[in-house]
Amino acid sequence: MYPTNSAHNVKELSDKINSVRFAMFTTSDKHGHLVATPMTNQEMDKEGHLWFFTSINTGLWEDIAATPEVNVSFAEPKDGLYVSVSGRAERVVERAKIHELWNPFVAAWFPNGPDDIHVALVRVVPHSAEFWDTASSRMVSLFAMAKAAITGEPPKVDPAEHGKIDL
């Protein structure tokens, strides 16, 4: 298990992803190939863990058992926000937590309800996150890209737009 995340870093990551509903959840399959699955982030708890619903009959469930190191990517292109979270996934079958996180959107995937024997959770314990957030300076970014295209020089990135959060 990883050390407790600092409250500041957890809040910083939460602030970045709390409004992004969907993520691409990347695992390694039994052949070592990367597989990405769209998932709905249910919660980021106070410890910084990300929670997702899944079925015990999925490749994702099996992949996590064999190789728990995962990546979860969040994107909100209209806002210029991209976040990549690296961490360790854990398979969780706790009916109390399933009931706590249950909502009508999950019911669409699991019509037999939260007590369906196939319903499970995945908890991701993040190690780190990397972000690109250009919403505050979109015009500056567009100008930098246009200038780079003309001059052939890579665009300069504002340090506030790109960063890493250690968790």
Q: What is the pLDDT of residues 55-111, one digit of tens each?
A: 999 999 999 999 999 999 999 998 889 999 999 999 999 999 999 999 999 999 999
Tell me if 48 is assigned to some domain. yes
Tell me if 56 is assigned to some domain. yes
Tell me if 149 is assigned to some domain. no
Percent of the chain with pLDDT over 90: 71
Residues of 76-93 as b/e, b for ≥16 C-beta within 10 angstroms?
beeebbbbbbbbebebee
**DSSP string covering 23-90, please?**
EEEEEE-TTS-EEEEEEE--EE-TT--EEEEEETTSHHHHHHHH--EEEEEEEEGGGTEEEEEEEEEE
Q: What is the pLDDT of residues 11-34, one digit of tens each?
A: 999 999 999 999 999 999 999 999
pLDDT for position 8: 86
Provide the residue range defining the domain that includes 36.
7-134+160-166
Tell me if 41 is assigned to some domain. yes
Instruction: Please count the structural domains in the chain.
Output: 1
Say which DSSP state 153 is in: S
- What CATH number corresponds to the domain at position 34? 2.30.110.10
For the range 33-37, what are the long-range contacts, defined as Cβ-Cβ under 8 Å and sequence gap of 24 or more?
A: 35/59, 35/60, 35/63, 36/73
Confidence of residue 1 (pLDDT cuts 50, 70, 90): very low
Tell me if 104 is assigned to some domain. yes
C-alpha–C-alpha distance, residues 109 and 34, integer Å: 24
Please give the average per-residue pLDDT across 138-154, as a whole number: 58
